[in-house]
């Protein structure tokens, strides 16, 4: 009766009876959404961490108080002390600044680069065995920065981008066709931003290619809307950016890791020659399980998508070079 904190299949590692621990670094809009979805799925106990006093504690208490109604037993705590993330199995990083009016792209890159470099040292110190899921933008460059600063093997550092972009594309296809979103599957590669590479050739509705269901101009419009998906939400919200779908995407990745689900998801992963690219993080299909990126899947993507992927990689490399010039890498 009541909510039990004893070992159950959910929120525990079956073999050892250990409860999983998930640290959310950054308790802003996205971080709190990640925590909420993780609690709803009872993935484990959650530690919300932020530099703002009271903020993670308040959100953690609020989420705890929702537990009796929503029926979850995850323990959610808030802290300003990185030591409290000790022993985390998964660390989700959403800390950083959003781009504000008047702030240049380079400003954002350097400010968030500094934040990610700083907190990576804390993660390496307190949660050295964790799988780190990066969410802070610019995503692919920040994931690379974390990878370099953490000193973890590349499989244990992964970025959340394609999961979100493909969810958006799935929603747009479903809306266009009036079918259930559950029937739509798609794949979006490349960097997280205008240069992403949505793949209509790998987009299906219950196994039917969308090329058989929609005229090319409608497919093109969906691809374009997917590329601008983040901006569409920003324009509507006027202040701040999306957080429900980003939070859900990161939580889905956390679940695949903690429950060793081996979901095949587009994620930003460290490339070592796949797609003829190396030494950068970029969105590719990966099999995500207990060790993080278990495998990178190389698809036959055709000449246009290949060129678009390489263009996307160039943009990420530019960001990495800028951080190097600033001495942050």
Residues that bind ligand APR (CB under 6 A): 25-31, 49-52, 55, 94-96, 98, 115, 118-119, 135-137, 240-241, 243, 246
Task: Kindly state the smallest distance separating residue 213's Cβ from ligand APR, in Å.
Answer: 31
Task: Kindly state the smallest distance separating residue 25's Cβ from ligand APR, in Å.
Answer: 5
Q: Please give the Cα distance from 86 to 47 (Å, whole number).
A: 10
As given in the structure block, the two tokens for residue 4 are: 């039990």
Q: Which of 57, 126, 192, 311 is catalytic?
A: 192
Q: Are 156 and 132 in contact (CB under 8 A)?
A: yes
Q: Please give the Cα distance from 329 to 326 (Å, whole number).
A: 8
Nearer to ligand APR, 88 or 203 (CB): 88
57 is a catalytic site residue: no
**Nearest residue to ligand APR, by Cβ distance, number only:** 28
Please state, in angstroms and as integers, the Cα–Cα distance from residue 43 to each residue in 78, 214, 259, 285, following that order.
17, 38, 8, 23
Nearer to ligand APR, 55 or 257 (CB): 55
Q: Please give the Cα distance from 249 to 160 (Å, whole number).
A: 7
Nearer to ligand APR, 87 or 98 (CB): 98
Task: Kindly state the smallest distance separating residue 44's Cβ from ligand APR, in Å.
Answer: 20
- Sort 61 into a burial class: Cβ within 10 Å, 0-12 / 13-18 / 19+: middle
Q: Please give the Cα distance from 129 to 291 (Å, whole number).
A: 10
For 131, the 3-state DSSP assignment is: strand
Helix axes 29-40, 244-258, angle to 10 degrees: 50
Q: Please give the Cα distance from 144 to 205 (Å, whole number).
A: 34
Nearer to ligand APR, 137 or 155 (CB): 137
Give me the sign of the Cα torsion angle 209, 213, 218, 221. negative
Contacts of 318 (CB under 8 A, 6+ apart): none
Q: Please give the Cα distance from 158 to 286 (Å, whole number).
A: 10
For 111, the 3-state DSSP assignment is: helix
Task: Kindly state the smallest distance separating residue 129's Cβ from ligand APR, in Å.
Answer: 20
Nearer to ligand APR, 109 or 286 (CB): 109
Task: Kindly state the smallest distance separating residue 197's Cβ from ligand APR, in Å.
Answer: 19
Nearer to ligand APR, 14 or 237 (CB): 237
Please state, in angstroms and as integers, the Cα–Cα distance from residue 30 to each residue in 96, 132, 153, following that order.
11, 16, 26
Task: Kindly state the smallest distance separating residue 139's Cβ from ligand APR, in Å.
Answer: 8
Omega before residue 138 within 30° of 0, cis: yes
The set of catalytic residues is 192
């Amino acid at each position: 009766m009541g909510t039990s904190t004893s070992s159950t299949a959910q929120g525990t590692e079956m073999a050892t009876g250990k409860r999983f621990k998930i640290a959310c670094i950054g308790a802003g809009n996205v971080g709190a959404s990640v925590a909420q979805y993780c609690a709803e799925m009872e993935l484990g106990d959650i530690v919300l961490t932020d530099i703002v006093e009271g903020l993670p504690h308040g959100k953690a208490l609020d989420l705890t108080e929702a537990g009796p109604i929503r029926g979850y037993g995850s323990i959610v705590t808030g802290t300003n002390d990185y030591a409290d993330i000790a022993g985390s199995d998964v660390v989700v990083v959403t800390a950083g600044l959003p781009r504000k009016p008047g702030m240049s792209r380079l400003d954002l890159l350097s400010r968030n680069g500094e934040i990610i470099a700083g907190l990576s040292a804390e993660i390496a110190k307190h949660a050295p065995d964790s799988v780190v899921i990066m969410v802070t933008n610019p995503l692919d460059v920040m994931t690379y920065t974390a990878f370099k600063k953490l000193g973890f093997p590349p499989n244990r550092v992964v970025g959340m981008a394609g999961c979100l972009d493909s969810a958006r594309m799935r929603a747009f296809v479903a809306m266009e066709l009036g079918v259930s979103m559950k029937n739509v599957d798609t794949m979006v590669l490349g960097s997280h931003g205008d240069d992403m590479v949505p793949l209509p050739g790998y987009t299906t509705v219950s196994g039917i290619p969308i090329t058989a269901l929609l005229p090319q101009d409608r497919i093109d419009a969906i691809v374009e809307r997917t590329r601008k998906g983040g901006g569409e939400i920003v324009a509507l919200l006027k202040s701040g950016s999306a957080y429900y779908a980003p939070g859900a995407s990161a939580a889905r990745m956390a679940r695949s890791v903690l429950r060793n689900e081996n979901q095949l998801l587009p994620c930003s992963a460290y490339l070592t020659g796949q797609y003829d690219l190396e030494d950068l993080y970029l969105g590719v299909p990966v099999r995500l399980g207990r060790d993080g990126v278990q495998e990178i899947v190389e698809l036959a993507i055709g000449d246009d998508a290949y060129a678009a992927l390489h263009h996307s990689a160039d943009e990420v490399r530019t960001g990495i070079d800028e951080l190097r010039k600033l001495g942050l890498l």
